[in-house]
Amino acid sequence: MSDFSSTQEQLKKGALTLPDLVENYLDRIEQKNPQINAYVSVDGDAARKEAEVIQKKIRNGSAGRLAGAVVGVKDVICEKGKVTSCASNILRNFESVYDATVIEKLRSEDAILLGRLNMDEFAMGSSSENTIYGPVRNPHDDSKVSGGSSGGSAAAVAGELCNIALGSDTGGSIRQPASYCGVVGVKPTYGRVSRHGLVAYASSFDCIGPLAHSVRDCAELLSTIAGFDPNDNTSSGLDVPDYASGLESSGTLRVGVPEEYFGEGLDDGVRKIVEDVIAQLEKDEKFNLVPIRIPHMKYSIATYYILATAEASSNLARYDGVRYGHRGDIDEVRKELRQEKEAIEDKIELADAAGKNDLIEEMAKVDSPLIRLYKKSRTEGFGREVKRRILLGTYVLSAGYYDAYYAKAQKVRRLIKQDFDTAFSKVDVIVSPTAPTPAFDIGSNIDDPIQMYLNDIYTTSANLAGNCGISVPAGTHPDGLPVGIQFMGDKYQESKILQAGYLVEQMLR
């Protein structure tokens, strides 16, 4: 098996058939997925039927642009008739009634959707361990995490369980797992790709993007899924370039090298790999390196986790156990309330006058059945990390702390955006490590949320500013794991980050 672009050439020449390709992927999933745990569900029968139909189109020359793309879909993107669980108990049995816009676009160009991919619950995490399906394991070393929250997407591509995957990126959730698993991952500009059908985590940050074996494959997929969507009023009406045809630009790229991204906390092995690549860029006439500053970058993690959790608190309020999703047992709720009230009534009978008044007040505070149902449903439905972020978000939005945290974080977000605007007036792209370390041991950070959050230190700033970014494999760490290099670009400058990634990809081959 190989990347999508090579596979497509083989299909056109008749050296390979699409049914055989799909069958090969299904066989590999059966063999490898029990260990990697990238897929949470696979629809083999539907994929086989689609392969037969599209193979006929290939023969008669009417196949779409993505014929030969066998795609895994992160379980936060809606597919009609498929369970969209977001790796959460609260949506474990929720079946989507419509297709996300990106799914419609993939199908219209004859991509085959193979199955649903594991992830951190509601895309909240950096390791794909916060999931009801069990952790995703890194195909390069199954004792290591795959990254998150699109860990299933990165692992499926790296493990040759599909040739392209869809992920989502809120603070680095495409780029960081791409780095850990040694694949290419693209976070588009906010608004470049429709979010219609993406289950919301933080609505002003979320982006859908591709993960693949090569920059060219990501460019092909991005050209298909990008563009205006009337169902998403944050989507851009700007024309979508043919990203793949523009990869081999003859111009010189001005590459900003920010000192803030190479400071304390960067693993020595990662530093050496990224700095070695930058040294090679400096010798290449297609690159012009420029020292720059992103002075407010040091506030990006704190700013991101204030704003993103605030938006999560608001977005996840809809999961109440009443309209859809997991619902607590109402009979148990009624039984609990009856027992609580009876216990208070027993105390009232034995209390003196003053005590009775206190107990009557206590009785008045007992939840109504509806409120208790909300609490029970959400307690049973949400995992620990999701609860933590809801609590954080509710806290920073509360009346006494709104100005001190949320309002101040919005101001800092503006400063970070201004830093990038200033930088992009001087350079075309900005280079940095994608993540501060290679993939870490499964379980090693799960009880240390601060350390887990710091895995996003180099990626969150692009989401705060609404810019685009790409992670491309840069080399192998001394411990044998992949390391990625990141290029960030100004808004709607995906062509430039793709060009930079492609040139690095060719240079390191």
Q: Is the pLDDT of residue 421 over 60?
A: yes
**What does the pLDDT average to over 310-325?**
94
Q: Is the pLDDT of residue 371 over 70?
A: yes
pLDDT of residue 178: 98
| Angle in degrees, 0-180, between the axes of helices 494-508 and 215-225, rounded to the nearest 10 | 160
Q: Is the pLDDT of residue 349 over 60?
A: yes
Residue 229: pLDDT band with limits 50, 70, 90:
very high
Six-digit token string for 295 = 């002075």
pLDDT of residue 297: 96
| Segment holding 474, helix H or strand E | strand 468-476
Six-digit token string for 412 = 């800092």
pLDDT of residue 76: 98
List alpha helices for 78-171, DSSP H: 101-108, 151-158
Name residue 300's amino acid. S
Cα(461)–Cα(417) distance, integer angstroms? 8
Give the pLDDT confidence of 148-201 residue by residue, as tens digits: 999 999 999 999 999 999 999 999 999 999 999 999 999 999 999 999 999 999
Look-up of token digits 């780095």? 179
Find out whether 74 and 199 touch, Cβ atoms under 8 Å.
no
pLDDT of residue 98: 98
Domain 4-306+418-508: CATH superfamily, name plus number = Amidase signature (AS) domain (3.90.1300.10)
**What does the pLDDT average to over 240-252?**
92
Look-up of token digits 């290029």? 487
Residue 423: pLDDT band with limits 50, 70, 90:
very high
**What does the pLDDT average to over 96-125?**
98
Average pLDDT, whole number, for the chain?
A: 96
DSSP state of 123: G
Q: Is the pLDDT of residue 354 over 90?
A: no
- Higher local confidence (pLDDT), 40 or 356: 40
Q: Is the pLDDT of residue 214 over 60?
A: yes
pLDDT of residue 205: 98
Q: Is the pLDDT of residue 367 over 90?
A: yes
Look-up of token digits 């933590």? 388
Which residues are marked as active site? 74, 149, 173
Name residue 434's amino acid. T
Residue 323: pLDDT band with limits 50, 70, 90:
confident
pLDDT of residue 505: 97
Query: What is the domain partition of the chain in residue ranges?
Result: 4-306+418-508, 320-381
